[in-house]
Amino acid sequence: DTAVSQTPKYLVTQMGNDKSIKCEQNLGHDTMYWYKQDSKKFLKIMFSYNNKELIINETVPNRFSPKSPDKAHLNLHINSLELGDSAVYFCASGLAAYNEQFFGPGTRLTVL
Amino acid sequence: AQSVTQLDSQVPVFEEAPVELRCNYSSSVSVYLFWYVQYPNQGLQLLLKYLSGSTLVKGINGFEAEFNKSQTSFHLRKPSVHISDTAEYFCAVSQRTGNQFYFGTGTSLTVIP
């Protein structure tokens, strides 16, 4: 029933590891997003995909690579994790024509 | 580019008192405006949005917001808050073309019993 789901909910890992966060939406939306929320709650967009094509790619390290196998999924892969990557990562989806975004529950990433 | 300013980072208010959370934006083009709420350890949920039409927008949980174009503001109000309204509130703006959102830094509302 969940509209936008993310797995895992919590991710604790060591510096230097590679990890992935998965996102799925069952709303039939054509656009999906990844946001990073830091410890001060500031939300910053990282990527946006429309119909599996990258349309927004903010200045993030190239260690972060989004992958969209189909319109309902947008996964985030992070290489060589660093301490500063610790944050809550939110996936969102929406219809470009309606300018509204629906958020997933978030993935809390802790890099030790 | 757009920017969103939420002037108050923390707002404590007593239960059943009214509250106003302030949001100002800067943009050279027409925009859509949104308020989202984030309860502890949860994702963001849409409270209300202004796309066009009446400048007074009503949302869920008794919240409303007023779009003021001349002051470039979109303040959120509730006449009587409940304990359950304790949460982080985010104002956001997007251009009418394109679908990139810009979020404010959030206002932490704490309702005191």
Is the pLDDT confidence value at B26 over 80? Answer: yes
pLDDT in tens, A19-56: 999 999 999 998 899 999 998 888 888 988 887 788 77
pLDDT of residue A81: 97
pLDDT of residue B97: 66
Domain of A81: which CATH number? Answer: 2.60.40.10
Choose which CATH entry (3.40.50.300, 3.30.360.10, 1.10.10.10, 2.60.40.10) describes domain B3-112: 2.60.40.10
Q: Read off the pLDDT band of B4 (50, 70, 90).
A: very high
pLDDT of residue B98: 62
First to last CA, chain B: 41
Mutation pick from A23, A24, A41, A90 vs chain B, by most beta carbons of B within 10 Å, is: A41
- Average pLDDT, integer, range A92-101: 81
B5: tokens are 């300013």
Structural domain count of chain A: 1
Average pLDDT for chain A: 90
Residue A14: give the domain boundaries. Answer: 4-111
Contact A90 B49 (CB under 8 A): no
Which residue in B43, B45, B99 is closest to A31 by CB distance? Answer: B99
Chain A partners within 8 Å of B103 (Cβ): 42-44
Which residue in A31, A99, A105 is closest to B43 by CB distance? Answer: A105
How many contacts (CB atoms, under 8 Å) link A and B?
50
Chain B partners within 8 Å of A99 (Cβ): 32, 51, 94, 96, 99
B60: tokens are 């869920």
Is the pLDDT confidence value at A94 over 70? Answer: yes
pLDDT of residue A1: 62
Is B25 in the A-facing interface, judged by CB distances under 8 Å? Answer: no
Average pLDDT for chain B: 91
Is the pLDDT confidence value at A9 over 70? Answer: yes
Is B59 in the A-facing interface, judged by CB distances under 8 Å? Answer: no
3-class secondary structure, B112: strand
Query: Per mean pLDDT, which range of A10-14, A58-62, A102-106 is the poorest?
Result: A58-62
